[in-house]
Amino acid sequence: MSSSMRYLAVDDDPAFHFVLTKTMTHLGYQAPVCVMSADEALAWLADPQEHFDAILLDIQMPGTSGIEACRLIRDMPHRRDTPIMMITTMNGREYVDQAFAYGATDYLTKPINRIELQARLGMLDRLVKEQAHLRSLQFAMESMDDMQSFGFAFEDAVALPKCGSLIEYLALENHLLTLSRLKLHAHTALAFQVVGSGSLFKRLDRVAFLDCMADVGSAIAACLKRQTFLLAYAGSGEFVAVLNRTEPVDMLELENELASELMVYDAVYESLGLPMLQVRIGATVHSGLFSTSAVKTMLGRARAAVRGQSGYQMQYLAG
């Protein structure tokens, strides 16, 4: 429960405002600031002085849709990390994919269920706290000499700076959880691992490590741009991309393209005395139609593949 969190709720239905406000206050949250249109919300959000911890955004609204609003919000530098939870009826679930691609964090289905809302808001609370923690760490790192004593763990799936093509790993998991088993089966997961990322993590301060991962993330995204993809940093120097299975990946071409993209950074890394960036690419994996815990299993198997675990031998090395 987080009574201090300030939410902006955007929905053109005043009845939904009633329901949401009452449910949230019963759960111990502050009543959200409710607005009736995306344009009204964008006007509020354009003001950097106006603080909102998270945004609840209806997808289907007259005028500017929630999807478009999500994109416009993410274009605002001061709202880049603000969690956005899309709200939709069951009929609108087909639009959720697009919302995640534009940077949505999670989604909630109307009519809202108190228990589900509580769980989703709890998740947003944790995300907001983690982001605040990360910001304070970055501030501390920028202002103190002993940088190595601050930071996050190597395994943490932290948000990468200045890397617009990536979504957060939690958002990637949330997105996949929205898919039916059949639809999940139509996707494939592919993991990338920065070679020597463990030693980079030890050598670099946390900000520099994040910058390094952001460079790799941008390079991977550039190689995948001809396809429909979602890409997230998973921690431990690993990235996971989710691709449409109907657009098969030519692994050798990807390897070559990624090597070219990474070469751009060679001179800079060399001048800093750092090793050239090399990225290992795992085999593509997909979800079994009848497996349990399909999402975690699919992402986990992709990561196991890039580590050479679980019998996956086919790997590619770029850089």
Partner 1 sequence: MQHDTRLVMTGVLGEVNSWAESILPQFLDMTAGRQIELDVARFSLLSGGDAFEAVQDIGRMAHKIAGTAASFGFAALGDQAQEVEGLCLRIERMPPAALATAAHSEMLPALERLMLELDLILVTPL
Residues of this chain that interact with partner 1 (CB under 8 A) are: 11-16, 18-19, 22-23, 26, 60, 62, 89-92, 110-112, 114
CB of 120 to partner 1, least distance (A): 15
H or E segment to which residue 316 belongs: strand 316-318
Smallest separation, CB 16 to partner 1 (Å): 5
Instruction: Give min distance, CB of 176 to partner 1, in A.
Output: 24
| Per-residue three-class SS string for 194-242 | ECCHHHHHHHCCHHHHHHHHHHHHHHHHHHCCCCCEEEEEEECCEEEEE
CA 220 vs. chain centroid, Å, equals 15
Q: Give how far Cα 224 sits from Cα of 35, 139, 200, 220, Å.
A: 37, 33, 25, 6
Q: Output the smallest distance, CB 24 to partner 1, in A.
A: 11
85 and 52 Cβ atoms separated by less than 8 Å:
no
Strand partners, 192: 239, 281
Cβ closest to partner 1, residue 121 vs residue 240: 121
- Which residue number, 126 or 183, has a Cβ lying nearer to partner 1? 183
Report the alpha-carbon distance of residue 161 to residue 149 in Å, rounded. 20
Shortest separation between residue 60's beta carbon and partner 1, angstroms: 6
Q: Which is nearer to partner 1, 16 or 100 (CB)?
A: 16
User: Which residue, among 69, 131, 61, 62, has the nearest Cα to 98 in the 3D structure?
Assistant: 69
Q: Which is nearer to partner 1, 34 or 210 (CB)?
A: 34
Which one-letter DSSP state was computed for residue 55? E
Amino acid at 288: G
Q: Which is nearer to partner 1, 95 or 154 (CB)?
A: 95
User: CB of residue 43 vs partner 1: minimum separation in angstroms?
Assistant: 23
- DSSP summary character for residue 285: E
How far apart are alpha carbons 111 and 9 in whole angstroms?
Answer: 15
Shortest Cβ distance from residue 10 to partner 1 (Å)? 13
Task: Decide whether 62 or 311 has the Cβ nearer to partner 1.
Answer: 62
Nearer to partner 1, 39 or 211 (CB): 39
